[in-house]
């Protein structure tokens, strides 16, 4: 809040410094009715807020200038209040201040139809604080965990470092220097909201608004804790080891309950969400718990068959390539994939064979291939292969 100029209260009421008590009363009456929230129910949010602010200022000004003693002290101090304007909204922290109380006192009392009809219960009145301060659940923390496929296959332990809000040790999360420095908000009587009955064309309606004085907290801290500045929270770096189960998938979130930020006013902690990020593997592609590997075969290997070495997680295995293997053909190695994260079985490893066709040949190689050019077995045809072979070929494009 900006520093107020001297004799601000006179300006708010639009009166001279020499104004009589009657002038001040008249000015307040006029402005209070003009800016009363009930007159601005249908305004935009911004206008409503502005009117509300003005209504408070007017009440505050009248509270001082309408009282002979207070006015004299104010004038003597050069148009400043004694307690200064520390708090939000410009009201000194200590005294309870309720613009509606002033309004009601002026116009003839709460609940009465003093001068301007209809409103009855602006604040939820004596409705006592349900006990204790409003508490909030802490925010969640999201943390990325990078894992290799090997770590995912076996499960692993990871060291995690986070910075989280924890209750301030100086004030035990209260935010105040002592328990005595926490006061029930006088504006809302600790409810954090105020309700008022509004007369609209629909009849009487209760409007509920967050209390501006305490931002809905229901409490006002007069002396904030020096360590945390009144938030009740402090940042702390924490490092701990987390067990990551085998089979987790990219993008999966592991939730660690209560490891997130602490809540305000000693509210419960949020969660720590570990977001799994799998590093690209140089050999395998992954789909769920299955792995895919592409193996290049030479033309003779594909035609004659061969024994090839295929990598698997944590080693390699020898695999027989059967004679006449087609480019694009896939074979499955059972249980050579990843364990399922739920513990139900293990995925498979699919090997896709691609036959490598050389582009450059020596003279001798070329001559050797030439001799096969008119060989009947090398002519592509349907019939002497397994049934559905060409269908399978077509499938490769999908």
> Which residues are at the interface with Zn ion (CB under 5 A)?
168, 170-171, 185, 187-188, 211, 213-214, 225, 227-228
Q: How far apart are CB 201 and Zn ion at their closest, in Å? A: 30
Q: How far apart are CB 350 and Zn ion at their closest, in Å? A: 58
Pairing of strands 330-333, 349-356: antiparallel
Q: Which is nearer to Zn ion, 261 or 286 (CB)?
A: 261
Which residue, among 37, 59, 56, 57, has the nearest Cα to 48 in the 3D structure?
37
Rounded CA separation 163/181 (Å)? 29
Q: How far apart are CB 230 and Zn ion at their closest, in Å? A: 7
Q: Which is nearer to Zn ion, 217 or 271 (CB)?
A: 217
**What does the radius of gyration of the chain's CA atoms come to, in whole angstroms?**
39
Strands (E), 118-256: 141-147, 156-167, 182-184, 193-200, 203-210, 219-221, 233-244, 253-256
Q: Which is nearer to Zn ion, 211 or 262 (CB)?
A: 211
Q: How far apart are CB 221 and Zn ion at their closest, in Å? A: 10
| Residues ≥6 apart with Cβ < 8 Å to 237 | 161, 162, 163
Nearest 5°: the CA angle 181, 186, 187 is 135
Q: Which is nearer to Zn ion, 228 or 351 (CB)?
A: 228
Q: How far apart are CB 42 and Zn ion at their closest, in Å? A: 25
Which residue, among 283, 235, 243, 260, has the nearest Cα to 145 in the 3D structure?
243
251: left (phi over 0), alpha (psi -120 to 50) or beta: left
Rounded CA separation 244/93 (Å)? 51
Q: Which is nearer to Zn ion, 81 or 213 (CB)?
A: 213
Q: Which is nearer to Zn ion, 215 or 255 (CB)?
A: 215
First to last CA, the chain: 66
Q: Which is nearer to Zn ion, 80 or 196 (CB)?
A: 196
Q: How far apart are CB 231 and Zn ion at their closest, in Å? A: 7
At 69 the three-state DSSP class reads helix
Q: How far apart are CB 104 and Zn ion at their closest, in Å? A: 18
């Amino acid at each position: 809040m900006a520093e107020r100029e001297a004799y601000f209260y006179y300006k708010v009421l639009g009166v001279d410094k020499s104004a009589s008590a009657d002038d001040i009363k008249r000015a307040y009456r006029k402005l209070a009715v003009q800016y009363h929230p009930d007159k601005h129910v249908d305004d935009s949010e911004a206008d409503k807020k502005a009117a509300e602010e003005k209504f408070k200022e007017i009440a505050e000004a009248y509270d001082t200038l309408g009282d002979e003693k207070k006015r004299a002290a104010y004038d003597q101090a050069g148009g400043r209040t004694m307690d200064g304007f520390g708090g939000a909204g410009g009201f000194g922290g200590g005294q309870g201040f309720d613009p509606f109380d002033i309004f009601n006192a002026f116009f003839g009392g709460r609940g009465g139809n003093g001068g301007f009809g209809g409103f009855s219960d602006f604040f939820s009145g004596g409705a006592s604080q349900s006990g204790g301060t409003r508490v909030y659940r802490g925010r969640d923390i999201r943390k990325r965990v990078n894992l290799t496929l090997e770590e995912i296959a076996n499960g692993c332990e990871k060291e995690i470092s986070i910075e989280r809000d924890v209750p301030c040790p100086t004030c035990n999360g209260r935010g105040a220097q002592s328990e005595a420095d926490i006061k029930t908000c006088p504006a809302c009587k600790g409810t954090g909201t105020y309700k008022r009955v509004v007369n609209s064309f629909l009849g009487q309606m209760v409007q509920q608004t967050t209390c501006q004085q305490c931002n809905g907290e229901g409490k006002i801290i007069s002396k904030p804790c020096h360590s945390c500045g009144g938030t009740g929270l402090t940042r702390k770096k924490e490092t701990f080891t987390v067990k990551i189960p085998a089979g987790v998938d990219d993008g999966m979130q592991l939730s660690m309950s209560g490891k997130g930020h602490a809540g305000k006013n000693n509210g419960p902690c949020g969660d720590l969400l570990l977001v799994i990020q799998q590093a690209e593997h140089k050999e395998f592609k992954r789909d769920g718990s299955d792995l895919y590997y592409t193996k290049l075969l030479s033309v003779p290997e594909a035609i004659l068959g061969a024994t090839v070495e295929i990598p698997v997680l944590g080693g390699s295995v020898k695999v027989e390539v059967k004679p006449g293997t087609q480019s694009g053909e896939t074979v499955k190695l059972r249980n050579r994939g990843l364990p399922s994260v739920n513990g139900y079985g293990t995925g498979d490893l699919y090997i896709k064979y691609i036959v490598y066709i050389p582009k450059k040949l020596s003279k001798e190689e070329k001559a050797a291939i030439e001799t096969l050019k008119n060989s009947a077995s090398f002519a592509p045809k349907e019939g002497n292969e397994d049934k559905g072979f060409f269908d399978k070929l077509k499938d490769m494009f999908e």
